[in-house]
Amino acid sequence: MDAALFSTRYRVRLLSPEEAPQVAALCRGNPLFYRYCPPFVTEERVLADMRALPPGKQAEDKYYAGFFDGDRLIAVLDLILGYPDESAAFVGFFMTDASIQNRGIGSSIIGELCRTLKEAGYREARLGWVKGNPQSARFWRRNGFRETGASYETDGYTVVIARRDL
Ligand SMILES: CC(C)(COP(=O)(O)OP(=O)(O)OC[C@H]1O[C@@H](n2cnc3c(N)ncnc32)[C@H](O)[C@@H]1OP(=O)(O)O)[C@@H](O)C(=O)NCCC(=O)NCCS
């Protein structure tokens, strides 16, 4: 799938390692996220996230993508297609620039992404949020995601697994 299909409103493309500084700058504007999901962002961690793959998946399944309004990066999405099973898409990370938040932009991006994934034949979307982070849980619930009841402990915090039908 071409990442450009993820949005009709924004230009979407895969981000390159050279763009890690811009991604880190966007991330630094969201300190609440890193209070629940430490350590705080660095360019090195962005580079590692750009390369990270879940078990059994290949680089072509992964979309570490930027959403651009003109030339301006306004959102970052880490999406894995066909994980944890072939009919699912997994959102590993989604963040909008702090300066454009609370205007419905994040929800519109996720809504359109889910419609596109459905048209491509995927039947469910999955993700995890850090237990206790009010911003993440509220955002995903508002966008139709519900806790599966599963969770796991990692690096001193708990990740709650959530899903929605597409
Ligand atoms: C969570 C996050 C992606 C939301 O992005 P956003 O662009 O602000 O998303 P939205 O504007 O769609 O929703 C945020 C709020 O705006 C409100 N909103 C939605 N549409 C709106 C509109 N048209 N006008 C004004 N406000 C609106 C929503 O009600 C929501 O508020 P609430 O949840 O307190 O009720 C963003 O805050 C973020 O990047 N946070 C840090 C990273 C993170 O937590 N990511 C998710 C876990 S991976």
Q: Which residues approach ligand 1 with their CB closer than 6 A?
A: 30, 33, 93-96, 101-107, 129, 135-136, 138-139, 142
In the chain, which ranges are continuous DSSP H helix?
A: 20-28, 31-36, 43-51, 105-119, 134-142
Ligand 1 atom closest to 108 (CA): 12
Q: Write down the pLDDT at residue 156.
A: 87
**DSSP letter string, 97-139:** -GGG-SSSHHHHHHHHHHHHHHHTT--EEEEEEETT-HHHHHH
Fold of 3-125: Aminopeptidase (3.40.630)
Which residue's CA lies nearest to atom 4 of ligand 1? Answer: 106
Q: Write down the pLDDT at residue 34.
A: 95
Stretch 128-155: mean pLDDT, rounded? 95
Q: What is the token pair recorded at 95? A: 């963040």
- Domain residue extents for the chain: 3-125
Its sign, for the CA torsion 56, 58, 60, 62, is positive
pLDDT tens string 66-103: 999 999 999 999 999 999 999 999 999 999 999 999 99
Task: Say how far apart CA 127 and CA 23 lie, in whole Å.
Answer: 20
Stretch 14-36: mean pLDDT, rounded? 97
